[in-house]
Amino acid sequence: MAGPAGRTAADNHRRFRALVAFGVLAIAMWFLLDAIEQTQYRAEQQSARLMLNQVRSALVVRGAEAILTRGETLEHLAGLNPLPLLDFGRGAEVETSCNELALDKRGWCFNPQQQWLVYQPGQPLLLEGRRREPGAPFIWQVQVDYAVPATQGNNKNKRATGLKLMEIDDHQVSVSQ
């Protein structure tokens, strides 16, 4: 018959096993949450890259349409809101005006005053070699792309070749606000 020492040893053994099981479960949960966080980061980064590629493709098409249309110039399209050029379908997370987008909400919008396309990341994000924290948006502007002649000495000979999306850096944002 086991005495009080035997019962104490068995209780300690059960507690130790429960503690080890809890520790293994906690480590597994930590790895699972880390994997979910990394997957969410990659998904947001890929989503932003795909959106930029779609916007740039739409600008190429719109620029080609402007070049082929006799009464329209590319210079008139500088600062264009590129979001209406895309067909988002239903349930898209895009606001057409930045006034409707809350500062803490992630998503795309267009600021008509500065003529900026704005992406507000939902988490720290690296996009096109630049890192932004939540609350620090990525900002682009539609500009005219010019072909410069080989001499490059005379600016009068520039020829508009299309529309491009240029990133606005932090210094330009702070000066214009």
Residue 51: CB atoms within 10 Å: 19
Of the candidates 71, 85, 124, 117, the one whose C-alpha atom is nearest the C-alpha of residue 98 is 117
Q: Is 141 left (phi over 0), alpha (psi -120 to 50) or beta?
A: beta
Give pLDDT, residue 134. Answer: 81
Cα 112 from Cα 99, distance rounded (Å): 10
Tens digit of each residue's pLDDT (9 = 90 or more) over 124-149:
898 888 888 887 889 999 999 888 76
Does an H or E element contain 38, and which? Answer: helix 4-68
Residue 152 lies in a domain: yes
Give pLDDT, residue 9. Answer: 80
Query: What's the pTM?
Result: 0.75
Is the Cα torsion angle 67, 71, 76, 81 positive or negative in sign? negative
Residue 17: phi, psi to the nearest 5?
A: -60, -40
Give pLDDT, residue 154. Answer: 59
Give pLDDT, residue 170. Answer: 66
Contact 152, 70 (CB under 8 A): no
Cα 95 from Cα 101, distance rounded (Å): 7
Could you tell me the residue range of the domain that residue 65 belongs to? 46-176
Residue 12 lies in a domain: no
Which residues lie below 8 Å from residue 68, measured CB to CB, with a gap of 6+?
none
Residue 56 lies in a domain: yes
Residue 87 lies in a domain: yes
State how far the alpha carbon of 84 is from the alpha carbons of 17, 35, 81, 149, 165, in Å: 61, 36, 7, 33, 15
Residue 139 lies in a domain: yes
Cα 138 from Cα 150, distance rounded (Å): 34
Residue 92 lies in a domain: yes
Low-confidence spans in the chain with pLDDT less than 70: 1-6, 88-97, 99-104, 149-157, 170-177
Residue 123 lies in a domain: yes
Residue 147 lies in a domain: yes
Give pLDDT, residue 1. Answer: 47
Number of domains forming the structure of the chain: 1
Contact 96, 84 (CB under 8 A): yes
Give pLDDT, residue 24. Answer: 96
Strand bridging mode 107-111 / 159-167: unpaired
Cα 14 from Cα 163, distance rounded (Å): 70
